[in-house]
Structures are given as structure tokens and as C-alpha cells.
Amino acid sequence: MNPAQKTAGRAAAFREEFDHAFAGPLNIGKRNFEAWICFRSGGEKLAVRTGQIAGVARRKRIQPIPTVAPGLLGITALGGVLFPVYDLGPLLGLPVAAGTDGWFLLAGGVTTPVAFLVDQM
């Protein structure tokens, strides 16, 4: 076999291996990927794992209630369920949420439903 035939044979083998790599499903091995939701609270960019929350919802009316609990803004109803609403910023040592817009992060994995007010999603 001359050098040109060897090169042509190797090129054909590389081409076949390359094409075969795209013919099957993506094989990324056993990597652990986690999904995150990014948001702003108190002017800071933050993130939480999606597995740690039950959901997100657009801010609705918050009914103030008398309380001494730090960060507790009041209660709101979402899907027929009452949620205590906490401003996440002050709980993290950040400024209070500004304005009347915002989102609720609904806590997951807890027995009592809780909503945390954040500035932006």
C-alpha cells in the first residue's frame, strides 16, 4: 500500500467515525446537571435550584396583616391557597423590594405554603 492509499484509508476512517458520532443520540455521560431560576431581590442577582421551589407566580395583591415577623408583608391567595408573603431582600440582609411589580417564588418541600417576593425574574 502506497502513502496516498494509506492517507485515503485513514481519511475515510476518520470521516466514518465523525459521521457515526452524529448518527446516534447525544452521549454526555453521567454528568449531573441542575436547572436554576435567576431573579433579582434587593438589587442583587440571585439564583435558586428549581428543585427547591414549588413554582413562580406574578405578584398579586398582598393583604397586610399585623405582625412582628421580620420581612412578613402579609398574605395573598394563589390558586385558592393562602400564602404568607415575605420580602426576600430583608431576609437576606438586602434592601426592601421597590415598587408594586415583582414575582413570588413559592417555597417547595415545606408543609406550610410560603411565598417570597422578589423584584424580577
Please tell me whether the overall predicted TM-score, pTM, comes out greater than 0.75 for this model.
no
Element (H, E) at 8: helix 3-23
What sign for the dihedral angle of Cα 46, 50, 52, 57?
positive
The tens digit of pLDDT for each residue in 69-79 reads: 888 999 999 98
- For residue range 85-100, what is the model confidence (pLDDT) as tens digits? 999 888 888 888 766 7
**Stated length of the chain:** 121
What structural domains and CATH numbers belong to the chain?
36-118 (2.40.50.180)
Residue 27's pLDDT band, with cuts at 50, 70 and 90, is: low
What is the rounded radius of gyration, in angstroms, for the C-alpha atoms of the chain? 26
